[in-house]
Every structure is written in C-alpha cells, then in structure tokens.
Amino acid sequence: MRAATSAAIEDGVLPTLTALLVALVAGDLLILSYGQAPGEVWRLMMSGTWGNAYGIGQVLYKATTLVFTGLSVAIGLRAGLFNIGAESQLAAGGFCAAALGLLLPTGMTPWLAIPMCLLAAMLGGALVGFIPGVLRARFGAHEVIATIMLNFVVLALLNWAISATGLAVPETLHTPPVASSSIPRLAAFFPVFHGSAANGTILLALMAVTVSAWLLFRSRFGYELRATGLQPLAAESAGIRVPRIWMMAMVLGGAVAGLGGSNFVLGYKNYFEDGFNGGAGFLGIAVALVGRNNPFGVLLAALFFATLSQGGLAIHALVPKQMVEVLEGIVILAVAVSVPEVRRLLRARPAPSATTLPVTV
Amino acid sequence: MRERADQGVSRAAGRGAGSAAVAPAVRMSGVCKFFGPVQANSEASLEVQAGEIHAVVGENGAGKSTLLRVLAGLYAPDGGTVEVFGRDVTGWSTSDAIAAGVGMVHQHFMLVPTLTVAENVVLGREPMSGLTYDRATAESRLETLSRESGLACVPSRLVSELSVGEAQRVEILKTLYRGATLLILDEPAAVLSPPEVDELWRVLRTVRDAGATIVLVTHKLDELMEVTDRITVMRHGKTVMRLRTSETTPAAIATAMVGRAVRLDANGMPVGADAAALGLAASTDEDAGAADDHGAELDGASVSEAWTAILDAGAPPDEMIVSSARNRITRSAPAAIISAPTPTYADVPRLRITALTVPGPRSPRAVGALSLSIAPGEILGLAGVEGNGQTELIEAIAGLRATTSGTITVDGTDVTRYSIGKRLALGITHIPEDRQTRGLVLDYSIADNLILGRQTHFSRSGRIDRARTLAFAEDRIKAFDIRPADPNALARSLSGGNQQKIVVAREMPADFRVLLAAQPTRGVDVGAIEFIHDQLRAARCAGKAILLVSAELHEILALSDRVAVMYRGRIVTILPRAAASEDVLGPFMTGAAS
Amino acid sequence: MVTADLSAARRIHSSLSLAAPIRAGDLSRFMRPLITALIVLALVHGGLLFVQPTNAPAAELAGDGPQVGVVFDLGGRGDKSFNDGAYLGAESAAKKLQARVQFIEPGDGSDRGAGLRLLAAERRALVVGVGFIFTDDLIELAKEYPDVNFAGVDFAVGTDKFGDPIPPPPNVAALKFREEEGSFLVGALAALVGGSKKVGFLGGMDMPLIHKDEAGYRAGVMHVCKDCTVIAQYAGVTPEAFRNPSKGKELALSQYQQGVNVIFHASGSTGLGMFEAARAMGRGHYGIGVDADQYGEAPGYVLTSMVKGVDNVVYDTIRRVKDGTFQGGIFSYGLKEKGVGYVYDARNRALIPDSVRARLLDIERDIVAGRIRVPSTRS
C-alpha cells in the first residue's frame, strides 16, 4: 500500500511539479530579458494575488470559471473526446442564464430565480455540447472539428443576438441587468473581499468538482465512461453503448461549461456581455491537462492559472502582460511533455560504452 | 540496405566461426529487474552461442519477456551485466542495440497501419531520390529481401489490411532490413496459423544458416524441439536450466518449467485435480471418456492411476497439452475416439444460426449464408485459415457486427436484432480474439475488468459497489489463480496469460448459455492453457454451448465434439471429432476439398 | 462501421495520450532522475531570484506631474486607432505635463474592473478607461473612490425612462465624440470633389455607432448637393464585418461601377478593400479613411480621412487634472473642441481644390457656430 501511495505521488505530482519549475525558470529568464529582477517581480505577483483579500478574491473569481471549463474538457477527455468547445458552451450558458433572467418577473424570489437561471445556463451549454456529441455518435464526425466550428457559429450567433437584435443596452455590448437572480458576492458575507468579483458561484464550482469526481470514479456511469475513453472496443464488447456515452459526455461537459457562465452573468456583472468568456474556455483545456483530468487536479490547476492571470495584472508595471501568456504556454507545454514522455527520455539513459560502439569483426 | 544485411550476416558468421569459443553472442548474468514492488527477474542468466537458435521457455510471468527486453535495450536492468559479442552493453538503449545488429520482433506489432508494407519496413531508413521518398526502390529492395529470406509479402499493401500472421512477417522483415544479426522474437508463433508456424520455423532456420543468431520465447514445446539448438528454462524470474535440445525431451523441459511434478507429489490429488482429470479424460483416450458427461463419477483411484501411468512413462502431467497433443491424437484417433461420448443433441439447440450473411471490412459477404447449430453441452470447433470469416461470424453473434440477412437464435429466442448488452444479459458471452483491445481495459484494475459488462449487477443506485466488486474479484482471482492476486493491480501490468485468465473468468460466469471463444489461449503459457481448457470442458459438462475458434488445430481437436471448417465465409464441412484429424481437415482449410 | 469508428477514436485518443496513466511497473526507477531534475531546477530558480539587473527600465512614464493610469480596451495597444490614440495622448502628457502614467492591458472581462481598481487604489489623480465597455466599471468605482478622478473614452451615457441622459457620477468625465460632425464635413467634400451626383458610404457592421457616421455623412452630402444620391452599404451584421477586406473591395467596386467616384468607409479593416478597389479603378476614384490618417493605404487615392482625436481628448483631460480644473460630467468633443476633423496636409492638398477647401472651412465655421445642425441618427 505504501508503494501504491508513493507511486501515486510520483505519477501525479512529480511531473507536474517539474513542469511548474521549468516554467518558473523560464519566467525568470523572461523577466531578466526585460531587465527586471525576478525576485521582485514574483514578489509583486504574489502580493497582488495571494497577498491581500482583494487579490485572493480576484483569483477565486477567475478560478471559478476555469474550474467549470476545465471540468468540461476533463470529462470529455475521460470519455476519449477532445472537447474544444468549452468556450462557446460557456458563452451559451451565460447567455441563456441572462436571457431567462430577463424574462422572469423582477419581483421573483432569488430562491427560485437563481436555480432556474442556473438550469438555463446548463441547458444552454448542454445544447451546444449536444450538437457535436450527436454528430459524433450518429455520423462519426470528429468532435474536434465539430466543436471548433461550433465555436465560430455560436459566438457569432450570440454576438448577433446582442448587437443586432436590440437586446443590448444602447452603445454597449451587454444586456440590461438581470434583476431577480443575482448570486451574492463574497464581499456580502466577508467584507474583506470588498470590490472583488468573487461570488457565491465558487460554492457551485466546489460542488461541481465533488460531483464530477464522484461521477467519474464512483458511479456506474463514470465506470462506463472511463472504459469507453480508455478502450472503446472493450467497452463496446461489454455491451456499453459507446456512442451514447460519447453523446452524454459531450452534453455533460457542455452543461458544466455552461454553468460556468453563471459566474460572470449571475455572480459578477449581472448581465450577459458579448465576449465575457474571454478565452476561459480555451484555457480550460490547459486546466484539464495540467490537472491530469482529475476533478481535484482541475481545481488546483484552475487556481494556478487564475493566479497567473491575476498576477499578470499586478506585475504589469514591470513586465508586459504577454509574459504571463508565454508562461501559461510554457506550463502547458512542460506538462504535456513531462507526462509521460519525459519519463521515456529519462529511461533511455545512454549506456557507459554506448558511444564507443564500432562493431567488432 | 540489403547489402548491409548481408554484410551483417556474413560478419556474424565470421565471428561465429572465429571467436565463438572466446565470446558467446549473448551472455547475461545476474540480471535483476524490478517493476515497482514486483521482481520480474532475479539473478537471471542467459548464454547464447553465435549462429544458434536459442529458446527461452517458462511459464507466463517467469520473466522471459523481461529478460529479452533487457537484452534488446527496452529496459535497463536494476542489476547484473549484459554482454553482446563479448562487449559489455549493460543498460544500452534500443538504438544502440539496433546499431549493433540486435533487433527485436515485437509480440504486439509496432507497425503504422496507414502505411504500406514497404513503407513500414523502410521507415526511418527510407531510400530517397532527392528530397522525396523513393517508393520504387523501397519496394524493389523489399522484394529482394523477401525473396532471399523466403518471407513472402506484397510491398504495396496497407498494413491495416494484413492478417496477424502477415503483420508479423512484416515485423521480421523490418528487423532484417535494419541489418539485425541477432534476432529476438517474443512468442513469434503465438499469433500464427499452423502453416504459418511451419513457414516461420523454416525462415528462422534459413536466417540462422546464413549466420544470424536467434533468441526466441515460445510455448510450443514440440515445435521447439524441431527448430532450436539450445534451450534456457526460466521459472519465477530465475534461470533454472540450460539444455542442449538434442539431449532433452519435451517432458523434461515441461517439468523443469512448470515444476509441477514436485507439486503434484506433495499435494496428492485434491480439489483442483478433478478438473485436471476431466481435461485428461476428455481428449486423451477412451478409457476416461465417460468423464465428459459424468465427471463426478470418475473415481479418485482411476485418476491417480492415469497420472501415475503418465508420470512413469516420463511424460509430464500436462503432457497432453504441453508437449504434443497432435502426436497423441493422431496416434489414438482412428478407433479410440469413436467411442467418445456423443453429446445429447437436445430438441432445441442452444445456438442456432440460419443463413447468416455478415459484411466484413473487405467483403460484403465475409460470412455468406452460413448455418450451424450447437447443442447444449457441445463444443463446436471452428477450424480454418485466419481471415476466412471466423472473426466476422463471432462478432456478428456477439452483436458487434451488423448482419445483412439470416437469424441467430439462442434457446429458441431470436437475438438477431438484440443489442450487445441484451445478448450479454441473455447469456451470450465472448472471449474476444484480441484481449488487449476488445477484452480488457488495460488501465483498469483486475477487479474493474472482472465486472466489465456486468457493472450493472455490481452497482446500487448508480454507484459501483466497491466492497462487493472487490469481494467478487478476490473470489475470481483465487478461483482462476490470477497473479498477482491483487484486485487493484492494473491489467496492463499482468502477463498475457494472466490477462487472458481475467477475460475467461469474466466471460464464464455460472449462468451463461453460449460462449464464443476466439483464440482463447493465444499467447498464453502452458499452465494457463491447461487451465483454460479445463474451464471450457467443465462448461461443456454444465450444458453450455461453446463455439471455439482457434488457429491451433491441436486445440480444436483436443476440445471439440464436432469440428467445422470455414473457408471463404462458408462452412465447407462439419465432422464429428472422431472423423477429424489434421490430415482430413487440411484440404478443407485450404479450399482443396469441399 | 462502429468498429472502424472506434478504432479511429482509440488511435486519436492514444496519440493524445492524455489520460494514459503510466504503467505501474515503471515507477521507482524514474524517481531519482525526476527528483534530480527538480532539485537542479529549484537551485537555478533560487539563484535567479537574487539577480538584480542594473539597468531596469523605468516602470512608468515618469515625471513630477499628476499620476495617471490608463486601462486599455481588450484590443490593447497597436490597434492604430482607439487604444493607440489614448496612448499617444498620455505619452505627450507625460512629456509636456510631466505626468506619470501607468498603462494596463486587461486579459479578460474581469480584468477591466480589476485594472481600474488597482489604479484607483493607488489614489492616482486620474484613471482613464479607454472604450465604452468600461462604462459600468467606471460608475461602480467612481462611487467607491469619490476622491479619485475618472474618465471614460466613449463612455456610454444611459438614458432614463423619459429619454433624458443620466449624468455620470460627479468624479467621472464621460468623453464623447460627435463623429457625425466630421462625417458631415467629409460628406460635403465627397460630393464636391466627386462631381458625379453619386457618392458612396461603406459601413462595417450594421449598428447604431456606424449609423451615426452615415447620418452625418449623408447630411453633409445633401448640404452641398441637394440632388445627389448616397449609396450606403454595410458589410454585415457581425463584428466580422469590420475585418473583411474582400467584402469591402467587392462592395466598393460595385459602387464605383455605378458611377460613384468617392466612398467614405467606417468599417475597420474592411475599408482596406475599398482603397484597393479605388486603386484598381484608377484615376478619379477616391476613398475616405476613418479614425486615423489612412493616406498611406493607397497614396493618391485617399482623398482624406475623418479623424477622431482620442489623443487630444486624453491629453486635454490630463491637462485639466494638472490645472485643477477637472470636473465630472459629459464632455462632447466635436469640430469645435478639435475632437473630430479631417486630414488636410501636404500629402492630399493636391487632391482637394482650394475652392473646395474654402467651402469646407465655411461649413466648419457654421457647424461650430451652431448655424448647421448635424443629425446623429438616420432620418
């Protein structure tokens, strides 16, 4: 059992840790290339994120959205599908939450309005996930292509809905505020978080992590889903309806990503704004990768990327914001490489005599 | 490229003649290799003379594959030394090994399915004209190599279209193309049909005669006797014996590798032996024939006598399976088997297939209007050269492949339109041909694999019941002697035989009706083969219907009540076991008779 | 069928090798090299932490004048229009007014508020949000930091239920532009120079902001040529319409072929296609640029450009902070305040006859004096 634990540590933690260190060192060099002192920049980054309640709040807010999109991608990957569509699923979820919120009477109790809007967000995301899911299950269309294409379609449709149909407040790209279904901000309970965007959706994100973990690793559905992802032919032979699993994984992933839309729409701004997704769906792919498709790993990875993103703002005075984007890229690359390919590289250590190897005749 | 191979061969030959006495081709000593807590090799050794065919034998999990992988540079040993042609190469890499003319032919093929045969062979060393791949040269070189080595192939075919045997041939060609003078083959015969196996041995002899050295792992002891020069026997990660083939017998080798004779003496004849006795009785000969239907009636004394007789004769206890079922069967076939029990052909067959047509990947009629039926308590053996529709037939019955016409009924129920899951629920189970992709989720634990397909029974309100799953798994692991006996071990970490035991354990629950057993013992060691055969026989006694497809004619003859031969999607003949023999079946299999 | 599909999936999946756990067997022997790598990396990182470069560039444009913070729109610097205009304005304020300016480019939506807050929390004298998208964030923060001055470029002023504008908080300057006045002038210019009784308008996305340009342009044309017709076309209804040069070229060519000689575009990079069309049509066909001086896009074919003086406006606001004359409210910049205008310089002087130039100056005076009322909406 001890061996199993240490194996789990080696397996899950060491490669990721190495990747992070690689990124840190690369960051040091980048900072130096910009003529700044790495120690000072990192210190500023930490103090601007985890150094005060506002910073923490902002990190939590950003992490919340990333948890949802990361889970969405991870669920797909566990089923053997690469869901690139979290971006549009997120946007569609946010839009549906806002749209329903606007339709609900203003005096409605939040106890009813919020769950209804959350449900709408899930349905919106699920619908966007369903389309590539059914295309895959029914017609064998590759989900990567389908989700990428659908991103264009959905984002353009939402933009059109906002800017060309008069749904938006004039001269802006957002809807009027949704009165009845506002999720309270953390600052309402803990005044130290004053001003930060962090809100009650964070609890929803934690629930999503727990439920996803249970679903993937404890439930029968998860058992079938993972089997499908690992060995689709074996799953098929075992009577698991593989196309159905694929469809459900896409719908579920879409619903989770869609739910993420509520963080901005119900929790922060209280309205849908065109482009609020701002790449969080795509970053979800990185979150899932770094989190190794494990819901709890996704949670940690989301916090990490949120810290980087918020920290980028804090060090803005010293280094350009692109540095943070480069760092994100390095982390993703390093993780992708170190798991498990780096191991193979390490294994092929050259033999003592390997270099002097003329074949003796 | 071909020149290089020739050069290599002659170089090796020269060395073989000149310096063999000084340095053997391979000398491995004290090799240790750990995989986590599992020790695959402990103080294993291997010595191979240049220019010989050397076999490494042993039970599954004995550490043969690991030892050869260390030799090929796939693993670095945790201890011990590896010398090749007198040079210390401990811990070298595969590229070092290839550069030194040591090439491994893999058990699981590492070919790119979307490339042609020629492209696969030259991959990494493509002939170029200017900046582009020179297809013509590649193909002509391959043709030359193919002609010289006697390994037939069509260079322009896609690898995805090849049968397993053909794919293996390509693997060997690839290794030769890279100028290997020391070939390592891991169970090369396991995936081949009988004519292909004969062909393989012929090829290996040719290659050896040209001066190359061959090390191989195999389970086929009788064939081993024909082709090898020396044999190394391994058990539990250690090397226990090194023999000159001409100075030993299959029986002695089997005893050494299984260590069973000793165990048998100590244990006497308790529970497990009943099944073993059944196995013996069923296909050896007439005196124990009744065991088929009345296993329980067989008294301990007669069983003991049978064992004793065999042991006295110097044969190992599992000789019938181990060494050469073929010899025994052909010897005893004519009169003796006729008195074997005829299964009771009940009014309703368990499995009835009527005019079934199944499209395959390359033909709309991979199975063409095929009819057959299997009675309760009957094993129907389906013989045939691979690729004649056996796979498609099995998959169609299992529900994995759509049919165009015809019906499949089980105990009178038409299941032609049933989903896979519904068929499973009805009791149609399936040991798939390819356990690694169809049979198992390799990254699932043993326990999770044991409930695959029956996960609904092991879950309560949508949740997998871990406790019940583990208890069930522990029970199955014990019953089937799956090693390691850890329900949480990943299936991937198990040896081929133990992986197959998981599949068999899962697909033979108490309540199944029809078993589709495709290559149930492919790539599996002697002990496991025996065990799996026993299971099949026991299931027959329990009134199950079994459709057995095997590339091993021995296996079919050893187990079946009736033997059907499939050729080009049709059944060309069905014979009672007594009337079937390799000689009789051969012409049907090749289409010469009908 | 299913089978092929499945194996394809498997291949793809395994090629990604994302979910593939490592074999239980291969573990312990990798522990050592990985840990070595970890330690080496940690040491390198630890060492680098203490490196102090000597010539660190200034963190911000420095001076002893007012401290100013500027948060850009998501487009960020380098858009050759809006954000760059704000940057230029702040930069010249740093030079001439010794302002100390810090810039922030947000990464996503929540960074807008966060960036403004960061600057407000430093109690900067002025915090500028560049783009209408900052409207809500500015209102929220202005209430929280009443002692900090805020300014919003293109600040979206809302209207109450009677249609009256809702004034921004007292410490927010809403910087608005009367683009229609500039459009009016270039409309008049187009009609006077074109001489074919037909002038063209090429809009990007069909939306109110662009309608404003069209309305002013149309009115300008009519002001000098009652019987002229304006052919107005839009490239689309999505933001893509601002990034579609080939569509722009297609529309412009069709207009030129209908007898139009001058086209004014308000369509982002779609307009680049219009310039290309003018060049393809040859002498006598012109395009009018927008936002910045676009003469360089097709020298000889760019009659002029309607420019929006974001730089001037930002500079002006910083100056007022320095002078202590800053106050909140709605600031509308038109011809009078030099907030909008058109390019007339050495490069395009030859294209505009002196009589036309004189006429335009008259019109400009009339607009500034209020003698001409320029509409900001269509019809």
pLDDT by residue (tens digit) across A36-95?
A: 888 888 998 998 899 888 899 999 999 999 999 999 999 999 999 999 999 999 999 999
> Which residues 6+ apart lie within 8 Å of B427 measured at CB?
B410, B511, B512, B513, B514
Q: What secondary structure does DSSP assign to B410-443, as a single string?
A: ETTEE-TT--HHHHHHHTEEEE-S-IIIII--TT
**What would the two tokens of residue B440 be?**
């198992």
Nearest to B38 among C1, C7, C25 (CB): C25
The answer to whether residue B432 neighbours chain A at the CB level (below 8 Å) is yes
Degrees (nearest 5) of the Cα angle B426, B431, B434?
Answer: 140
Can you say whether the dihedral through the CA atoms of A74, A78, A82, A83 is positive or negative?
Answer: negative
Q: Which domains does chain C carry? A: 67-177 (3.40.50.2300), 180-308+344-369 (3.40.50.2300)
In this prediction, residue B279 carries a pLDDT of 32
> Per the omega criterion (within 30 degrees of 0), is the bond before A243 cis?
no
Q: What is the pLDDT of residues C321-357, one digit of tens each?
A: 999 999 999 999 999 988 899 999 999 999 999 999 9
A239 contacts in chain B (CB < 8 Å): 399, 419-425, 453
Q: What is the pLDDT of residues C69-128, one digit of tens each?
A: 999 876 666 666 678 888 889 999 988 988 888 888 876 667 888 889 888 888 889 999
In this prediction, residue C209 carries a pLDDT of 79
The answer to whether residue A313 neighbours chain C at the CB level (below 8 Å) is yes
Q: What is the pLDDT of residues A218-229, one digit of tens each?
A: 999 999 999 999
C-alpha dihedral (C294, C300, C301, C303), degrees to nearest 10 = 70
Nearest to B490 among C4, C10, C24 (CB): C24
The answer to whether residue B39 neighbours chain A at the CB level (below 8 Å) is no
How large is the average pLDDT for residues B207-221? Answer: 82
Query: b/e for B165-189, b at 16 or more Cβ within 10 A?
Result: bbbbbbbbbbbbbbbbbbbbbbbbb
C20 contacts in chain A (CB < 8 Å): 230, 340
Domain boundaries, chain A: 67-306
In this prediction, residue C283 carries a pLDDT of 86
Beta carbons of A233 and C10 less than 8 Å apart = yes
Q: What is the pLDDT of residues B133-149, one digit of tens each?
A: 888 888 888 888 888 77
Nearest to C16 among A36, A82, A232 (CB): A82
The residue in chain C having the minimum alpha-carbon distance to the alpha carbon of residue A157 is: C238
The answer to whether residue B85 neighbours chain A at the CB level (below 8 Å) is yes
Q: What secondary structure does DSSP assign to B461-494, as a single string?
A: TTEE-HHHHHHHHHHHHHHHT-SS--TTSBGGGS
Min CA distance, C39 vs chain B (Å)? 23
The pTM score is 0.73
Q: Which of B183, B449, A262, A6 is nearest to C34 (CA)?
A: A6
Q: How confident is the model at residue A153 (pLDDT cuts 50, 70, 90)?
A: very high
In this prediction, residue B152 carries a pLDDT of 75
Length of chain B: 594
Do residues A80 and A229 touch, judged by C-beta distance below 8 A? Answer: yes
- Please name the fold of domain B2-248: Rossmann fold (3.40.50)
> Which residues 6+ apart lie within 8 Å of C16 measured at CB?
A77, A82
Question: Do B2-248 and B351-589 have matching folds?
Answer: yes
On the question of pLDDT at B249 being above 60, the answer is: yes
A343 contacts in chain C (CB < 8 Å): 22, 26, 30, 34
Q: How confident is the model at residue A106 (pLDDT cuts 50, 70, 90)?
A: confident
Nearest to C24 among B78, B401, B489 (CB): B489
Nearest to C108 among A236, A279, A317 (CB): A279
The residue in chain C having the minimum alpha-carbon distance to the alpha carbon of residue B66 is: C25
Beta carbons of C1 and B402 less than 8 Å apart = yes
Q: How confident is the model at residue B191 (pLDDT cuts 50, 70, 90)?
A: low
Do residues C272 and C264 touch, judged by C-beta distance below 8 A? Answer: no
**How far lies B209's CA from each of A189, B203, C361, in Å?**
86, 10, 103
| Neighboring chains of A (3 or more beta-carbon pairs < 8 A) | B, C
The residue in chain C having the minimum alpha-carbon distance to the alpha carbon of residue B38 is: C25
Indicate the burial class of A191 (C-beta count within 10 angstroms; 0-12, 13-18, 19 or more): exposed
C21 contacts in chain B (CB < 8 Å): 443, 490
**How far lies A190's CA from each of A185, A186, A193, A198, in Å?**
9, 6, 6, 11
Enumerate chain B positions whose Cβ falls within 8 A of a Cβ in C: 34-36, 38, 40, 76, 78, 361, 395, 400-402, 437, 443, 489-490, 492-493
Range of lowest pLDDT (A165-174, B145-154, B218-227, B279-288): B279-288
The residue in chain A having the minimum alpha-carbon distance to the alpha carbon of residue C13 is: A80
B452 contacts in chain A (CB < 8 Å): 227, 234-235, 238
On the question of pLDDT at C318 being above 90, the answer is: yes
Q: What secondary structure does DSSP assign to A282-310, as a single string?
A: HHHHHHHHHTTT-HHHHHHHHHHHHHHHH
Quote the DSSP letter at residue B158.
B
| Neighboring chains of B (3 or more beta-carbon pairs < 8 A) | A, C
Beta carbons of A240 and B421 less than 8 Å apart = yes
CATH 3.90.1150.10 for domain B351-589, yes or no, is no
> Per the omega criterion (within 30 degrees of 0), is the bond before B484 cis?
yes
The answer to whether residue A169 neighbours chain C at the CB level (below 8 Å) is yes
Beta carbons of A237 and B462 less than 8 Å apart = no
The residue in chain C having the minimum alpha-carbon distance to the alpha carbon of residue A286 is: C18
Beta carbons of C132 and A163 less than 8 Å apart = no
B569: helix, coil or strand? coil
More confident residue, C193 or B280: C193
How large is the average pLDDT for residues C170-195? Answer: 93
Q: How confident is the model at residue B107 (pLDDT cuts 50, 70, 90)?
A: low
The residue ranges of DSSP E strands in B59-145, in sequence order, are: 79-84, 87-88, 102-105, 128-129, 132-133
Nearest to C19 among A15, A78, A197 (CB): A78
A231 contacts in chain B (CB < 8 Å): 437, 440-443
**How far lies A292's CA from each of A13, A59, A215, B538, C359, in Å?**
10, 21, 16, 45, 70
Domain boundaries, chain B: 2-248, 265-339, 351-589
Q: How confident is the model at residue B131 (pLDDT cuts 50, 70, 90)?
A: confident
Mean pLDDT of chain B: 78
Q: What is the Cα–Cα distance from C8 to C238, expressed in whole angstroms? A: 37
In this prediction, residue B298 carries a pLDDT of 34
Nearest to B452 among A227, A347, A359 (CB): A227
Beta carbons of C110 and A264 less than 8 Å apart = yes
More confident residue, C291 or B466: B466
Place of tokens 């042993």: B58
What is the ipTM score, two decimals? 0.85
Do residues B403 and B569 touch, judged by C-beta distance below 8 A? Answer: no
More confident residue, C24 or B353: B353
Q: How confident is the model at residue A6 (pLDDT cuts 50, 70, 90)?
A: low
